[in-house]
Chains A and B, each alone.
Chain A
Amino acid sequence: MNKVFKYGLMTILVALALYNAVRIKPLNEVKKKQDTQLFDAKAYAADFMANKIESLPALQVDSFLEHLGNNPTAYAQEHGKKLGISDAYHFIIEGKGSVSAIEEEYIVLGLGDGSSVAIATDFIFGNAIRDGSGMAHIDDHQNTMDFNSISVELNNQVRETIVPLLRDKATMGSTLYFKGAVTIAIDQPNPSEIKIIPLRIQIINEP
């Protein structure tokens, strides 16, 4: 009798635990709901590149370079964007310059005041566009994979649409307008090593 009571009580406890542990639902209904909630990073990036770049606030490149040489930390804290505890700041910058060199991995633009910047045409990686634009926040996404995939797709967009245009149209001596994203490690800012990831390129003058 004692054993019956013991096992009976155990069965009830296990049943109660399972009842409170799991809820059974039809898989097809759950899938349907999930499909409507699925995050499409590719579409998100395409929409950003097509519709948001124009209105994206940007710093003027000459002012950016000047401040970077003077007091980079204060400038970055005021105008840059960063994620979490990283010491890398991201910026969106724009300006005009004439093509002074075309290398395999970048194109150099002379800015007229003797300084120059490099526009990347290869090794388009990192989170400069996503974090510099401030378009996406990690809390808005269900997981870090979704959040990271935004950068992947934005970089893909640049590789597939902007870089070919730049490679095709930029010739020595031509004048370009550019808007791009850049990442600076604030403890070691080195303007000569900055590579701008292009977001918008416009040919103003051809030689």
Chain B
Amino acid sequence: MNQIKNTLLRFQSIIALVALCIVLTLLSDKFLTPENGWNIMRQISINVCISVGMTLVILTRGIDLSVGSILAFSGAVTAGLLKYGVELPAFNVFMEFTVFGAILGGLLVGGCLGTFNGWMITRFKVPPFVATLAMLTIARGATMLWTGGFPITGLGTTFAFIGTGWFLGIPMPVWIMAVLVGLAMFVTHKMVFGRYIYAVGGNESAARLSGIDIKKIKVWVYALAGILAAVGGIMLTSRLDSAQPNAGMSYELDSIAAVVIGGTSLSGGRGSIMGTVQGALIIGVLNSGLVLLNVSPFWQQIIKGFVILIAVILDRLNHPNED
């Protein structure tokens, strides 16, 4: 009996996802179609990228509220570099960025902002909630400054391929998502760094006494979260062929929801990348299903809120002794 219960608990996200798909297939004949399947995969790809970073952060018992703003700023920087380049009037120099260069610039910005988050948290002991909340407004303000409040559009077909192209019959965003998820799974399961992340979140004092450089691990984790948010920003900008100054608003909540629904403990030390992917899929399928069923967007928000609550309650019931 206990074995059955444990198996059910282990696969609760997959069971929920399958049940949701069955119900939506019965309710809408447009749900179970290849087109809708690819649509859902494309839609969740950005959330999965951010959520992979968020999972790493939450595994260390932290939180990152700034991913939505970092996404927007990185996307805007990429678009700005690609479209306008950089002028250095003092040297009579104009730096024209290739697609590759602009993407590197966006990733660098995401990494730097994430590193700054980690530095604030480890060096000055600022609680992650506060440090990343501050970064949320800083990065949003920086996005507004960089774009002047206007979208940056017309980024070219090469750049658009990242967000809208297909390769071997699969959309590019899905390829990018799959590669990142594979890398993150490899890091968390097979690399020492991954074990350190779990150790830091499971018991920070024990990890410190074991000789793990906790500060270094945390700074790296926040830097990675920033880089992954930047990847999401570049994908979104490419998909829309436009960097919107208000892009990524409330994406942090969607990514936290995916992580929580996927079974990662907010207390740290327990969770998995695959669980997060399942969480993002549940949110994506739910979004798609509710739209197909013509449910009002206001109700959609309420339903999603309850799904998150139920996921957390189930998690607490399964792990009653966790702090």
Contact = CB atoms under 8 A, between A and B. Distances in A.
Interface of A: 17-18, 20-28, 30-31, 141-145
Interface string B58-95: 00000000000000000000000001010111011111
The A contact surface, by secondary structure, is: helix
Contacts of B93: 24-27
Contact of A23 (B96, B151, B242): B96
Contacts of B288: none
Task: Return the 8 tightest CB-CB contacts between A and B, nearest first.
Answer: A21-B101, A30-B94, A27-B94, A23-B96, A25-B94, A27-B92, A143-B153, A22-B101
Given A27-B87, A27-B94, A28-B92, A20 B152 contact: no
Interface in B126-158: 150-154
B226 to A, nearest CB: 19
A25 B101 contact: no
Contacts of B92: 26-28
A142 B154 contact: yes
A142 to B, nearest CB: 5
Nearest to A30: B94
Interface of B: 83, 85, 87-89, 91-98, 100-101, 104-105, 150-154, 242
A24 B104 CA distance: 16
Contacts of B151: 143-144
A20 B150 contact: no
A25 B85 CA distance: 11
25 contacts: A21-B100, A21-B104, A21-B105, A22-B95, A22-B96, A22-B97, A22-B98, A22-B101, A23-B97, A23-B98, A24-B94, A24-B95, A24-B96, A25-B94, A25-B96, A26-B94, A27-B91, A27-B92, A27-B93, A28-B92, A30-B85, A30-B96, A143-B150, A144-B151, A145-B150
Given A27-B93, A143-B83, 10 more contacts: A17-B100, A20-B101, A21-B97, A22-B95, A22-B98, A23-B95, A28-B92, A30-B85, A143-B152, A145-B150
A27 B100 contact: no
Contacts of A142: 154
A28 B88 CA distance: 11
